[in-house]
Structures are given as structure tokens and as C-alpha cells.
Amino acid sequence: MALDLPDFPWDSLSELATTARAHPGSIVDLSVGSPVDPTPVVVRDALTAATDAHSYPQVAGTPALREAIVEWYARRRGVTGLDTDAVLPTIGSKELIAGMALWLGLGPGDTIVHPANAYPTYALGAALVGADAVASDDPASWPESTCLVWLNSPGNPDGSVLDVERLAAAVARARELGAVIAGDECYAELGWEGEWATRPTPCILDPRVVGDRLDGVVSVYSLSKQSNLAGYRAGFVAGDPAVIGQLLAVRKHAGLMPPAPVQEAMRVALGDEAHVAEQKALYRARRAALAPALEGAGFRIDHSEAGLYLWVTRDEDAWQSAAWLAERGILVAPGSFYGAEGGRHVRVALTTTDERIAAAVERLEH
């Protein structure tokens, strides 16, 4: 029996990629959000020092790592009331997002809600268990059959940020429905506009959102973006101890555990803010160069208050915009990859070198 899986959209970019590679100056690949800058030395040193890892790692995470996660939420996200039994390391965040519905015991007849503009893994998680996936940003429209809600703030692909009031409204509705609600927040340290330029974006576990209880609410985070640890697969989930406990029980049986050296690297990364600030400065400079060049080429930037992407449009079909850019050697992701509402936008990543950003700017300006 074959699973009814959605198509993997990036497979359809091959023709545009061929066009972009044919450019005399070679391709500028802005289609994916994979970091290109070095992993911080302090993190690599921690990994190296922990390579005598002869025993099986702890699925729940080492006590030191769990304490570091709790401390990070308090220091960087304003989240109080977490205990070490309310956090759990994961093998990056994507595997958790894909597997959450399965591990919560959802299946046919259940509904999983995700953002209207969303990367495909939320829908994949529904497909893996035969549940219905509903794309909706309006809590009032969430059906009574909703069992799991995914929020994504800052959003991928559009970089939008949910403020405390909107997060609180979503949590209240999910609780009315008896659903688990999960905030996918891996770009929280990468805000660019307004109050988010100098501090992380709001967390779904903020006391102003959840009140004095964590019931049914979890936050998912990844160190791939803030710390260039995409190759380490370093993430975690935190929140309602009952939900965390259920996830932990399944993961123990399945043997899903970050390697011990990665757990130690995560602990060190969470305690070091200097490398995060340095990386943010690099992305800020790339964004400052690329954004006006896109606007000068006739694109409008929508949302994009945070995250690693610019969500841009020329009020034409997304594939037409993507083809225009590919002819100039610039590969981007059509917004239709992320749902019907993105059909007239393209997502432009900031995750390439300064030299490639400069090449893109030069091509857009001529």
C-alpha cells in the first residue's frame, strides 16, 4: 500500500535551475534556506570534545542540555514556568513536525490545521496518518475535528510575525477544540523590522499567551538558522509536560535521539549569544543589499519582517517571476510551493555568500 504523499516541489525547479546555471556568471541559488556560513568555533570545539560517545545517548537529553533549553527560553523568549520534564531535544525540527501527528495518535477523521502560506511538511504530517489538512489563518474557521494546529512565526515563506494578541487568540481557540497547538519558531532570533529588530519574536509559551498553564501548547525550535547547525540536526520542543511525555515515550521506543556530541554542542550553542548576534549581522547586511535591488527591478516586498527570506511579487504568476529571475541566473522558489495564496509571490532566500548576493544585486540593477 502506497502513501498518498504530496509532490516534493523542489523537484520541479530543475528546468529553471538549468537556465540559471547557464548564466555567464553562474547561478545565484536563492531557492533554499540552507546556511552557508561556518558553524561557530565554540560549537565545533564542544562537539569535538564530546566525541568519546561510546554509550547510547539519552532520548530525553542530558540533564545539562535540558537545563540549557529551559534557561534559554527564560533568557531569550521570556518563558517562565518550564521544568526540565517539559523540554525534549529532537533530530532537527523537521522530523518532529512531520511525525507529530503520528506520535500523538492522530489518524483518519482528524484534522490538522496549518498556515495558509506554509512549507509542505505540515501537510506531509497529515498525509502520513491519513488525517485531513486544512490551511487557515483564521481560528474561527478551524473545524470541530481539529486535533493539532501548527502556527509558524516568523513564517516560512513570508516572514510574517504573530504578535502576542494573535498567538493568544489561536491558543484560546485550540483549547476550545481540545487540540494541541504547536508554534514552529525557528526564525525567532532573526527579526528585521520594528520591535523585532532588537529582540526575538514572541513565543507561543509566553505567559501573556498561555496564561498560567501550558496545557496543550508546545514550542518547536531549531538551531539550524541562528547557529548554522543545519548539518548537526539540532532542535527541541518544549511546553505542556503531558504532550512532551507522550512524544518522549514514542521516541524511546523508536530510538529517536540526537547523538551525544550534538547534544553537548547544542548546550554550548544555547549559552553563547555572541555568535547569534554575529550571524544576524551577516544576514542583515545581505538583506539590506538585496531588498532595494529587488524593489528597483519592479518587485514589491510583502511581510518579511523576520526570517531568512524576502516574500516578493510583481503581481504576476509566481512561475513567470521565477523564470524572469532564472534568465538572470537567480534561482528562487515560486510561492505556489507554499499554498494557493502564494501563487503570485516568490520566496527569495538570504542564505548565500556575500559574493553571490553582490552578483544578484548587479544582475537586478542591469
Dihedral sign, Cα of residue 221, residue 222, residue 227, residue 232: positive
- Is the pLDDT score of 118 beyond 80? yes
User: Rounded distance, CA 132 to CA 153, Å?
Assistant: 22
The domain locations on the chain are 9-38+275-364, 41-272
What residues pair up with 92 in beta bridges, in sequence order? none
- Cell numbers describing residue 310: 524576502
pLDDT band with cut points at 50, 70 and 90 for residue 2: low
Predicted confidence (pLDDT) at residue 81 exceeds the cutoff of 90: no
Q: Which fold has domain 9-38+275-364?
A: Aspartate Aminotransferase, domain 1 (3.90.1150)
Q: Which residues pair with 238 in a beta bridge?
A: 87, 219
Cα separations in angstroms, 180 against 87, 207, 217, 321: 16, 17, 6, 38
Query: What does the pLDDT look like over 194-225, one tens digit per residue?
Result: 999 999 999 999 999 999 999 999 999 999 99
Between residues 178 and 7, the one the model is more confident about: 178
Q: What angle do CA 83, 51, 96 make, to 5 degrees?
A: 45
Find the mean pLDDT for residues 39-50: 96
Looking at residues 272-284, what average pLDDT do you find? 97
Q: Find residue 334's DSSP bridge partners.
A: 346
Order the strands of the 180-184 sheet from edge to edge. Answer: 87-91, 234-239, 217-222, 180-184, 146-152, 111-114, 132-135
Mean pLDDT of 80-95: 95
For residue 148, pLDDT beyond 60: yes
Distance in angstroms (rounded) separating the CA atoms of residues 204 and 77? 9
| CATH architecture of the domain with residue range 41-272 | 3-Layer(aba) Sandwich (3.40)
In tens, the pLDDT along 252-267 reads 999 999 999 999 999 9
Please answer whether residues 203 and 77 qualify as being in contact, where contact means their C-beta atoms are separated by less than 8 angstroms. Answer: yes
What was the pLDDT predicted at 366?
87
Residues near 86 by Cβ (< 8 Å), separated by ≥ 6?
70, 214, 238, 239, 240, 241, 244
Encoded amino acid at 194, one letter: G
**Residue 4 pLDDT > 80:** no
% of the chain surpassing 90 pLDDT: 93
What pLDDT score was predicted for residue 11? 74
Q: Is the pLDDT of residue 5 over 90?
A: no
Pick from 8-12, 88-92, 181-185, 188-192: least confident: 8-12
Average pLDDT over residues 331-338: 94
What is the C-alpha separation between 352 and 366, in angstroms, rounded? Answer: 21
pLDDT on residue 240: 98
Give me the pLDDT at residue 1, please: 56
